[in-house]
């Protein structure tokens, strides 16, 4: 009987672990269309580390709401421009640790009505204290002013490198 109980408890614990890994609780203040973004395709393989003249300082992981085969040709070349309704999320953490605090979320969305900013809507959220994120008042035109430097790659600086060649 005792053995059965031990097995039962360990099954429950592993189920909880799996569930918490799959489901992600979006912190308050962030838009619902990025819910579950940590399960999206990772654009960059390695975490981007802070560097001098860093536009968004911290440890960054980038995610895109498209499957690798929607981003690549059969020869594994990246397709530009990104399709309509692409969402790219840049998650910025304070330290290199996986469970470190998220301090900034930058988002690019490919949506109609953004012709003046390369087809992308740019928006950014930060948290200054507590759990809740607030939108940073930074005009999307100013985001694009810098991002248009990456015009060859559809105004997205980071190329999709996170796939097996």
Q: Catalog residues that contact ligand HEC under the rule CB under 6 A.
A: 48, 55-56, 60, 62, 88, 90, 106-108, 122-124, 138, 142-143, 146-147, 156-158
**For residues 27 and 121, which CB has a smaller minimum distance to ligand HEC in the complex?**
121
The continuous run of DSSP H or E covering 88 comes out as strand 87-93
Residue 116 in tokens: 């003046």
Contact between 107 and 34 under an 8 Å Cβ cutoff? The reply is yes
Query: Could you tell me where the DSSP H helices lie in 23-77?
Result: 68-71
Name residue, tokens 């995610």: 63
Minimum Å gap between C-beta 32 and ligand HEC is 17
**Residue 49 in tokens:** 């580390």
Peptide bond between residue 81 and the one before it cis (omega within 30 degrees of 0):
yes
Shortest distance, position 1 Cβ to ligand HEC, whole Å: 55
Q: Please compute, for residue 66, the number of CA atoms within 13 A of its CA located in the half-sphere on the CB side.
A: 20
Nearest approach in angstroms of CB 99 to ligand HEC is: 21
User: In angstroms, what is the minimal distance from the CB of 74 to ligand HEC?
Assistant: 24
Residue closer to ligand HEC (CB basis): 12 or 145: 145
- The nearer residue to ligand HEC, 17 or 48, going by C-beta atoms, is 48
Q: How far is the CB of 67 from ligand HEC (least distance, A)?
A: 18
What are the structure tokens assigned to 89, written together? 């999320």
Q: Which residues contact 42 (CB under 8 A, 6 or more apart)?
A: 61, 62, 63, 162
Cβ closest to ligand HEC, residue 10 vs residue 148: 148
- Which lies closer to ligand HEC via its Cβ, residue 23 or residue 135? 135
């Amino acid at each position: 009987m005792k053995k059965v109980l031990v097995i039962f408890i360990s099954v429950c614990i592993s189920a909880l672990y799996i569930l918490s890994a799959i489901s992600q609780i979006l912190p308050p203040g962030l838009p619902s269309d990025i819910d579950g973004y940590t399960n999206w395709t990772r654009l960059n393989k390695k975490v981007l580390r802070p560097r001098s003249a860093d536009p968004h300082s911290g440890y960054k992981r980038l995610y895109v709401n498209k499957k690798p085969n929607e981003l690549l040709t059969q020869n594994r070349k990246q397709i530009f421009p990104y399709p309509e309704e692409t969402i790219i999320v840049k998650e910025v953490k304070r330290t290199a640790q996986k469970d470190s605090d998220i301090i900034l979320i930058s988002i690019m969305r490919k949506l109609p009505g953004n012709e003046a900013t390369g087809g992308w809507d740019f928006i950014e959220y930060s948290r200054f204290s507590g759990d809740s994120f607030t939108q940073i008042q930074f005009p999307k035109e100013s985001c694009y002013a810098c991002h248009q430097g990456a015009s060859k790659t559809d105004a997205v600086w980071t190329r999709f490198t996170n796939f097996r060649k």
